[in-house]
Amino acid sequence: MNTYNRFPLTLVRGKGCWVWDQSGKQYLDAVAGIATCTLGHSDPAMRRALKQQLSRLQHVSNLYRIPEQEALARWIVDHSCGHSVFFCNSGAEANEAAIKLARKHGHRRRGIERPVILSAAASFHGRTLAAVTATGQPKYHSGFEPVVEGFDYFPFNEADAFEALLNRHESQGPAVAAVLIEPLQGEGGVNPGDPSFFQRLRSLCSERNILLILDEVQVGMGRSGMRWGYEQLGIEPDAFTLAKGLGGGHAIGALVVQDHADVFEPGDHASTFGGNPFACRAGLTVAQEIDRRNLMRNVQKRGDQLREGLEKLVEAFPGQFQCVRGWGLLQGVVMQPDCNITAPQLAAAALNDRLLLVAAGPTVLRMVPPLSISAREIRQLLRRLEATCRTTFQI
């Protein structure tokens, strides 16, 4: 169906941070399946693990215990503030599970008849109907009304505005079940969370027994330079969601909850494919390789290198670029408001310099390469991007 505005490019092969099209042209990939191919393309450890898994068992459904699922859940719990995990197939599904968890919590723990979930303006939480309603961008709602009731929005990183909205909803008694928010807004323009805002958010939610649920679909699994985005903010959520980098290019999502937030009972939620042996073997391989290769240290070093290079680019093109923002290997270059080139146009132009980039809205050019990217590859990324800028801006 005609649902994608695709680049004029057909990719047929990949290795590490590189991909090739059908005519043999090689491209440096700073998109990584949109922050998904954690270990890069065709990673040897992933190939070995998934080949072995296919020779044993790929799917049995959650009617039975699944050792690979239990091992991945154990790794997540051992390395996070969570105590239990529900597995699904995508970030949107993980957020749907979180929304159901929040509503049940509102009914059971706060006695709310019609629970409200608060989320941030300019957020992005997925394309299913409840997840897209949680997304605080009206353009994603257009054409799909009526959207799901029970959501309201506050400005990201603005504590006073959040507290005013919370008090308005709770003026007649308990009404808010949860806050669903990204530690760093990805699709909304690579906007990092302010630690002081999130610490105030945590305090207000704790005072009123409101669940604080973080959408870590894009920043989780080490992309920020720390294992979880919430570690950048000095807080712990009651629950958080994962997908993208968790499977290293394979479809898996997860809702991770602390014990006090786990209100689900058998029959409340389910997934046919969620957490099957093959997907969990992929996730477990990503997790183990992040640790074995010390990839979070690489993210920190390469993230600093990328940011420094992008800041030099901003200095070289002050009429076109405004600033750089982001964490680790999730960096965005913000275009000047009066620049006559949009971020999507610049990403398209970069194809001529054999560089894959992705926009985060009309004004932010985003870079989310594999976590395994090398210093030499970062230098190549920056050189290619500078060449694209000189050609596109005619400077």
* Cα distance between residue 321 and residue 310, in whole Å: 10
pLDDT tens sequence for the chain (395 residues): 999 999 999 999 999 999 999 999 999 999 999 999 999 999 999 999 999 999 999 999 999 999 999 999 999 999 999 999 999 999 999 999 999 999 999 999 999 999 999 999 999 999 999 999 999 999 999 999 999 999 999 999 999 999 999 999 999 999 999 999 999 999 999 999 999 999 999 999 999 999 999 999 999 999 999 999 999 999 999 999 999 999 999 999 999 999 999 999 999 999 999 999 999 999 999 999 999 999 999 999 999 999 999 999 999 999 999 999 999 999 999 999 999 999 999 999 999 999 999 999 999 999 999 999 999 999 999 999 999 999 999 86
Q: Angle at CA 235, nearest 5°, toward 229 and 236?
A: 85
User: Is residue 143 left, alpha or beta, with left meaning phi > 0 and alpha meaning psi from -120 to 50?
Assistant: left
Establish whether the linkage from the previous residue to 146 is cis, with ω within 30° of 0.
yes
User: Which structure tokens are listed for 194?
Assistant: 């302010």
Q: What is the pTM of this model?
A: 0.97
10 Å CB burial of residue 181 (0-12, 13-18, 19+) is: buried
Asked if 307 and 173 touch (Cβ cutoff 8 Å), the reply is no
* Cα distance between residue 183 and residue 216, in whole Å: 7
Classify the C-alpha dihedral 267-85-214-138 as positive or negative.
negative
User: Which structure tokens are listed for 34?
Assistant: 């949109």
Q: Angle at CA 236, nearest 5°, toward 234 and 242?
A: 110
Give kind and range of the element (H or E) at residue 39.
none
10 Å CB burial of residue 380 (0-12, 13-18, 19+) is: middle
Q: Is 177 helix (H, G, I), strand (E, B) or coil?
A: strand
- Picking from 42, 41, 45, 66, the residue whose alpha carbon sits closest to that of residue 56 is 66
Domains and CATH numbers, the chain: 44-292 (3.40.640.10), 294-393 (3.90.1150.10)
- The structure tokens 């070093």 sit at 301
Give one DSSP letter per residue of 145-158, joined into a string: PSPPSSEEEE-TT-
Paired sense of beta strands 84-88 and 26-29, if any: unpaired
